[in-house]
Chain A
């Protein structure tokens, strides 16, 4: 027999706290679709994706309905296209992107990730071709997401690739200038990219993965915030150790939901269950915000002094609670702080409490990086590369994943607002120090050598 408290607590999370499974992402290996013939490659990709993903959406909806917990997003990640389509030129790569976009629409998923290249130690011909195709591919498709891994703790930082990404981001922005540079919202530049991220825009299926795998992204910032609020209301003298304990318990519950539903979806599709990604992923809705958690913890806003410590506590407690709840943990696993996708964080950027520099500091202790940050459209390639290089250095030295999803909004300046719509939200443009700089350091090129931390053998 269940207790009424158990049932009411769960209903409360569903109704008022946005409890859901944020994404179930089907990873599809496309390596054996490779062909020197472009038409054949496109046919192979279409056939493989349709074959594996045709029931993904209906199964997710059915299982979600059985447990009364919605699976909000159904998505697909594929092998890095720079490998799958290595022989092709940029314009042909764009056609591959369009095939991915079409087949994603046919099976009813909102995003397909894996228009990706791994170039942390050097850029092969296929990688270069893919990177050159990114601006057009993202501007002319709706569902395709791209990622480029330019650094790792083992390899160091490929500064040539960093500079190239500065240029690529600017081009992507200008090709989608009429929509505030939205193409950049589908492009992540990574250090230490995991092979099994279920969240967009960074999802791709690693080369070390099986033919197909189901990865689950859990979420629940609203649930965590309400748990903290309730606990502090019941006992205003709670210290941080006990607050951490409450976050852990809450993360446990949220992760159990993802694990249960993900496993059952995998079983129904007869595809192996991969990992649960223990993340706090916000949406642009009140009550579904990571930023609001900072206020529940007693800070004026995310971004004020104390924020990094608060985020460190939050991120660690989420991981501890989630790790206990799941058999296989992976992906990004931590709190996300995407500026435009979180109403509260976007407000902090608008009010001036949150600067680019503070965001960078926060990324040292959370799961991703400079995420969905709208910056002035005239930010130079060099300064973009500089922002990316700094973020990569944090990841490389601290043996963690970091990423940049920067949107230089064409024709707009600091203080203006950019609108991306839907889950991508809207944000006030943040000022960039030395935004029009052309600093030589970024053009010196070569590799920043792998740090001493890489010598672990």
Chain B
């Protein structure tokens, strides 16, 4: 079997998943994993699909492009190499970094630059911009895996210093606190 990753993007409307999965079904592909989300008005979906080795990936791509173009969607396909290793983050702890403060350009870029420099992986990012002048209304939530081997205090210090420059309130908390409080 060959594994492919597809990314589908476009204006949201009814029937997108039906169209993608219909084409995959007709061509003998099997969906192994899907994640989709709607940001404002835009649909974004990522599919991991396995197809028989005999199938020409190019022809599947053509069918998808043709079928989805009618719905105003773009599609990107890549073959997943069997030997691509997972980032080695097994010995890491999940933390949640939140920033609250005035919206400004380069917020995410400056914070994630520090996160990346310390070798920390972002596993999920949510931005909640409710607009207006109230800084409380602009919240960025970074779920990250922090390797146990790094100096967490140094990361904290760098992040807090940057947050101060950007006039943000920043919190770094172990993920478990949110789970314990909100889930049974």
Contacts and interface: CB of A to CB of B under 8 A. Distances in A.
- Please determine whether chains A and B interact with each other in the same assembly: yes
Interface of A: 1-2, 4, 6-11, 14-15, 66-69, 253, 256-257, 259-260
A9 B182 contact: yes
B48 to A, nearest CB: 18
7 contacts: A1-B124, A7-B96, A10-B182, A14-B171, A66-B173, A67-B174, A259-B180
A70 to B, nearest CB: 12
B183 to A, nearest CB: 8
Contact of B98 (A1, A7, A253): A7
Interface pairs A-B: 9 shortest CB-CB: A68-B173, A6-B182, A67-B177, A256-B180, A253-B181, A260-B180, A66-B174, A68-B171, A2-B178
A220 to B, nearest CB: 11
Contact of B176 (A1, A11, A67, A253): A67
Nearest to B100: A11
Given A4-B128, A8-B128, 10 more contacts: A1-B143, A8-B139, A10-B182, A11-B98, A11-B100, A11-B139, A67-B176, A69-B173, A253-B182, A257-B177
Contact of A4 (B126, B174, B177, B179): B126
Contact of A10 (B100, B143, B178): B178
Nearest to A15: B169
Interface string B74-104: 0000000000000000000000101010000
A306 B177 CA distance: 37
B3 interface: no
A257 B182 CA distance: 10
B171 A11 contact: yes
Chain B CB count within 10 A is highest, among A4, A8, A11, A253, for A11
A384 to B, nearest CB: 43
Contacts of B139: 4, 8, 11
B6 interface: no
A6 B175 CA distance: 11
Contacts of B143: 1-2
A444 B62 CA distance: 102
Nearest to B128: A4
A218 B178 CA distance: 17
A167 to B, nearest CB: 48
A260 B176 contact: yes
A56 to B, nearest CB: 20
Contacts, number: 59
B138 to A, nearest CB: 12
Nearest to B124: A1
B172 to A, nearest CB: 7
A103 B139 CA distance: 45
A253 B178 CA distance: 10
A257 B174 CA distance: 12
A1 B98 CA distance: 14
B174 to A, nearest CB: 5
Contacts of B98: 7, 11
B155 interface: no
Interface residues of B, number: 22
Given A1-B143, A4-B128, A8-B128, A257 B181 contact: yes
A9 B178 CA distance: 9
A4 B182 CA distance: 12
B71 interface: no
A4 B172 contact: no
A256 to B, nearest CB: 4
B31 interface: no
Nearest to A256: B180
A184 B139 CA distance: 47
B107 interface: no
A69 B173 CA distance: 8
A2 B177 CA distance: 11
A6 B178 contact: yes
B176 A68 contact: no
Nearest to A16: B136
A4 B173 contact: no
Interface string B121-150: 000101010000000000101010000000
A10 B177 contact: yes
A7 B177 CA distance: 10
A4 B98 CA distance: 10
Nearest to A9: B182
A2 B173 contact: no
A66 B98 CA distance: 14
A6 B182 CA distance: 6
B80 to A, nearest CB: 22
A179 B171 CA distance: 40
A259 B171 CA distance: 21
Nearest to A257: B181
B142 to A, nearest CB: 11
Contacts of B169: 15
A260 B124 CA distance: 24
Contacts of B180: 256-257, 259-260
Contacts of B179: 2
Nearest to A19: B181
